[in-house]
Structure 1
Amino acid sequence: PEVDDLPEGLLTVVPHTLPYSGGGSARMSLLILVSIFACSASVMYLVYRNFPELSEDEREKIKVPKDMDDAKALGTVLSKYKDTYYSQVLIAYFATYIFLQTFAIPGSIFLSILSGYLYPFPLALFLVCLCSGLGASFCYMLSYLVGRPVVYKYLTERAQKWSQQVDKHREHLINYIIFLRITPFLPNWFINITSPVINVPLGVFFLGTFLGVAPPSFVAINAGTTLYKLTTAGEAVSWYSLVVLAVLAVLSILPVCFQKKLQQKLE
């Protein structure tokens, strides 16, 4: 179908420059996505091929952590080789984090916690923010290339509502992205795949993500310093850290509120 055949509500979300071409487009998008994933997985394989020689027991622990026990086991192996094979461990961590973020695969929260165990706090914070920003941006670009049929078919209503919110904050989009990254109002995967469809600029998206993930990453990295005392990821978040995150979220949106009030008074 042509753009004019789309549901009326969808046209408020999707500009006419991004036409939807139906089932054929969806199948082609899926094929492209699978091809990109396969290429990325091949790169990950090469990264781990360059890793130090591991024992059989250690190889079993080198996997994407699904819970805190996996994170502890992975941390034990990486800390053993981190000093001798610093570059290899850092590159493997960097590549894995970006891979998970790019394809919206769960597990990055455990890598954030693990960074606090492996690296000094400033490096860990910069590393997590950079990986989050780059991974989310790659997910954004994937969505721009192949994800629009998915948004059109399954996320139309939610994307339409968020599009209206983005339009309200268009002049202060960085603040709004930072606010969304700090707070849990919208899932990160949803922000990543719908942002290109509703015309959030990539530069603003990256900067807002880089800055916005810093406060929650601060909490996760700080918890990583006591990794082996944790039993679940939930223990990394205390009431104090929740209050701090709430305050930072409010601070991120305050400039927007003050400017709107000032404009109203001037008008």
Structure 2
Amino acid sequence: MTEPLQNTMDRENQVLQNESVTIVEDTIAILDIKEEDDKPLSTTKAVIILAAIFLTSSLVLGNLYYNFPKFKDDEKKYIKIPFSIEDAENLGKVLDHYKNTHYVRVLLAISFCSIFLHTFALPGSFTLAILSGYLYPFPLALGTMCFCSAMGSTFCYLLSLTIGRKLAYAYFPDKIRSYASLVKKHEDNVLFVIMFWRIIPFFPSWLINICAPLVNVPLLPFWVGTFIGVAVPSGLSIQAGKTLKDLSSSTTLWSWSSVLFLVTFATLSLLPIIYKAKLRDKFD
């Protein structure tokens, strides 16, 4: 490698590090990190480590599938992480049969899938909550989904803290500043801030998980706030799953209680959208 090219690469790396430090300083000194103390992983190394963790987790998922009881040929096409309500219903019908003899194994599989999705900020946790409501009693399903959301979000938090910091500074500088200013303003009530954001989606869940460690949100309030805050949306999804099962297993196509719940659920789903701006102004 020629010396001019090496010098150019060194200057680019130095500029990137300087930008990261500038972003941190702009977040109202929430992070007291100086350039000489902040030694982030190189982008390539961070991506490789993240890919290795993702691959390892995927292998664990594959192992869960491999150790499941043998599915019938017409059932195998439904054995996948559900990304729609129809997927959740079809998978629920299959797992409902095996749940009677493999109760804990099915629950662990759903739990690990949920943690996996939250850890890597992938879609599908909503439909997994519906699936858990389809298969299990409400208290068990709610406790499981809250725990999995908290654990998966915590793993995402730790990934961001350890190997994702440089990537976050590079791709979400404005979001980090906005997040940091709100955390600084309500630093004495961080637990309630996290709970509030989980219930009312001012920020996407994945963004909260990634940015929280970068603006010094303590891990314990983050975990507890997530566990409590996701109870409301998870509870609605779980109840939707129970209603879905009642409708699919009933001899009648509908019941007044099911229709009433679906109308209520649809209305509640719209409330965060309707009042989002008003609540944001009041909260700020």
Q: 1:100: how far off?
A: 0.8
Q: Which residue of 1 aligns with 2:143?
A: 126
Question: Which residue, 3, 18, 37 being the options, matches 1:5?
Answer: 18
Aligned pair count reads: 247
Q: Which residue of 1 aligns with 2:48?
A: 31
Deviations 1:79-123 (A, max 9, x none): 010111112111111111111111111111000111111111111
Q: Which residue of 1 aligns with 2:266?
A: 238
Q: Which residue of 2 aligns with 1:65?
A: 82
After TM superposition, the structure 1 = structure 2 runs for residues 33-112 of structure 1, keeping only pairs within 5 Å, are: 33-112=50-129
Q: 1:19: how far off?
A: 2.2
Question: Is 1:150 matched up with 2:167?
Answer: yes
Q: Which runs of 5+ in 1 are unaligned?
A: 258-267
- What is the SS of the residue equivalent to 2:213? coil
Q: How far apart are the structure 2 equivalents of 1:39 and 1:54?
A: 24
Q: 1:227: how far off?
A: 1.7
Q: Which runs of 5+ in 2 are unaligned?
A: 1-13, 249-261
8 A Cα contact 1:47 1:92, kept in partner:
yes
Q: Which residue of 1 aligns with 2:38?
A: 19
8 A Cα contact 2:142 2:235, kept in partner:
yes
Q: Which residue of 1 aligns with 2:191?
A: 174
Q: Equivalent pairs: percent with the same residue? A: 41
Q: How far apart are the structure 2 equivalents of 1:68 and 1:219?
A: 14
Q: How far apart are the structure 2 equivalents of 1:146 and 1:244?
A: 33
1:243–1:155 distance in 2 versus 1, CA, 3 Å: closer
8 A Cα contact 1:2 1:19, kept in partner:
no
TM-score when normalising by structure 1: 0.84
- What is the SS of the residue equivalent to 2:177? helix
Larger mean CA deviation between 8-17 and 193-202 belongs to: 8-17
After TM superposition, the structure 1 = structure 2 runs for residues 181-200 of structure 1, keeping only pairs within 5 Å, are: 181-200=198-217
Question: Is 1:217 matched up with 2:217?
Answer: no
Larger mean CA deviation between 195-204 and 234-243 belongs to: 234-243
1:100–1:244 distance in 2 versus 1, CA, 3 Å: closer
Q: Which residue of 1 aligns with 2:256?
A: none
**Aligned residue identity for 2:18:** D
Q: 1:237: how far off?
A: 3.5
8 A Cα contact 1:20 1:148, kept in partner:
no
8 A Cα contact 2:199 2:232, kept in partner:
yes
What RMSD in Å do the two structures reach over aligned CA positions? 2.8
TM-score when normalising by structure 2: 0.79
